[in-house]
Amino acid sequence: MIEISGLTKAFASGKGIFDLNLTVREGEVFGYLGPNGAGKSTTIRHLMGYMKPDRGSSRIAGKDCWNQAPAIHSRVGYLPGEIAFMEGIDGLEFLNLMSGMRGMKDNKRRDDLIERFQFDIKTPIRKMSKGMKQKVGIVAAFMHDPDILILDEPTSGLDPLMQRLFIDLILEEKARGKTVLMSSHIFQEVDRTCDRVAILKEGRLMAEKNVADLVLVQRRLFDVVLASEEAAAALSRSGLEVSKCEGVRVRIAVQGDYNLFLRELSQYDVLSLDVHELDLEEIFMHYYDREETL
Ligand SMILES: Nc1ncnc2c1ncn2[C@@H]1O[C@H](COP(=O)(O)OP(=O)(O)OP(=O)(O)O)[C@@H](O)[C@H]1O
């Protein structure tokens, strides 16, 4: 459904995106990840036809994103990373403008979305918080019920409750067969919604993975508190991968083989055991260390 081939755009600064190749299949939710400045928004702007590539191309539903942008816009719901709103209008006026441009007759879906994300659409946009503006952007991207959704960090600025509502919305759209490409930094959101992910670093594709495989390679850090400093020191010498030992606290990294970790731990008097969740970037940083670029 979305095909990026050899896509290259080099800015004068030397940054940009370089020889990207990616395919998002119909009905798939695809996570597009990478540290700040990696080139995620630049890729997405090419998909929307807002930037002309130096080399290569991108296509959505068979149409070239640069030459046939208007045809693509009619099928896509787009949430930009930063939404540029006109001055002096409120949320409802903005949404009316967008629905007018799309020739929408029926506002039921729009009104359902507004109710779901709970915000006062009569607030002037310049007075809205970042999260509120983000909600307006989400409604604008989803209200015409597009087949394809391209979302640039959709939950940025949303509180945890709203992030959950957003995840539910993506899962519903996925069940309805929609194709979604979204950039994100939040592991939970990617883990719960995406089928596959690609990670970008300095404009180059580092990896493309099924989310299930990514979770398997995930390294976890455990914070263990033992009954004495002697025991903590002994555990640090046990051959497990110890990343920190302070007093009675030991931080141990485990990847894959939990049994060995549990067997070792069972020999001690354990006062507490916490798992330190790695965020997506940390997971990928470890991933980079072990894998060559594609
Ligand atoms: N129009 C432009 N002209 C020059 N440089 C640009 C332009 N757009 C982006 N860049 C640079 O290209 C790099 C990639 O930017 P991009 O916004 O695509 O990153 P990103 O992965 O979306 O990051 P973030 O998570 O911070 O939004 C950055 O170094 C940015 O400064």
Residue nearest to atom 5 of ligand 1 (CA): 11
**C-beta 91 within 6 A of ligand 1:** no
Residue nearest to atom 6 of ligand 1 (CA): 11
Confidence of residue 151 (pLDDT cuts 50, 70, 90): very high
| pLDDT(284) > 90 | no
For the Cβ of 37 lying below 6 angstroms from any atom of ligand 1, the answer is yes
CA distance 131 to 158: 5
Place of tokens 């755009």: 9
The reply to whether ligand 1 has any atom less than 6 angstroms from the CB of 47 is: no
- Identify the H or E element spanning 256: none
CA atoms within 13 A on the CB side of 169: 25
Task: Name which residue sits closest to atom 7 of ligand 1, judged by CA.
Answer: 11
User: Residue with the nearest Cα to atom 30 of ligand 1?
Assistant: 37
pLDDT range class, residue 196, cuts 50, 70, 90: very high
pLDDT of residue 294: 39
- Give residue 168's pLDDT: 94
Q: How many CA atoms lie within 13 A of 262 on its CB side?
A: 4
Describe the crossing of helices 91-101 and 130-142 by its angle, rounded to 10 degrees. 20
CATH class of domain segment(s) 2-209: alpha beta
Whether 27 is in the pocket of ligand 1, judged by its Cβ within 6 Å, is no
- The number of the ligand 1 atom at minimal distance from the alpha carbon of 203 is 14
Q: Phi-psi region for residue 103, left (φ > 0), alpha (ψ -120 to 50) or beta? A: left
Report the chain's mean pLDDT, rounded to a whole number: 89
- pLDDT at 277 > cutoff 60: yes
Strands 2-10 and 55-60 come out as antiparallel
Which are the contacts of 209, defined by CB distance < 8 A and separation ≥ 6? Answer: 196, 197, 198
Supply the Cα-derived Rg of the chain in whole angstroms. 23
- 3 state SS of 274: strand
Nearest CA to ligand 1 atom 8: 42
Q: From the CA of 152, how far away is ligand 1's center (Å)?
A: 12
* Structure-block tokens of residue 81: 């990373």
| Cβ of 13 below 6 Å from ligand 1 | yes
pLDDT at 32: 93
Count of C-beta atoms within a 10 Å radius of residue 293:
9
Helical residues (DSSP H) of 143-209, grouped into ranges: 160-175, 187-193
Pocket test for ligand 1, best of 4, 40, 152, 280 (most atoms within 8 A of CB): 40
Contact at 8 Å (CB) between 149 and 182?
yes
How many angstroms separate the alpha carbon of residue 45 from the centre of ligand 1?
10
Query: What are the strands, taking DSSP E only, across 216-262?
Result: 220-226, 241-246, 249-254
**Which tens digits make up the pLDDT trace of 117-129?**
988 889 998 888 8
pLDDT at 189: 79
Domain residues of the chain, as ranges? 2-209, 219-277
Domain 219-277 top-level CATH class? alpha beta
Contact 173, 30 (CB under 8 A): no
Q: Where are the alpha helices (DSSP H) in 237-273?
A: 258-265
Per-residue pLDDT, 293: 41
Q: What is the pLDDT of residue 212?
A: 77
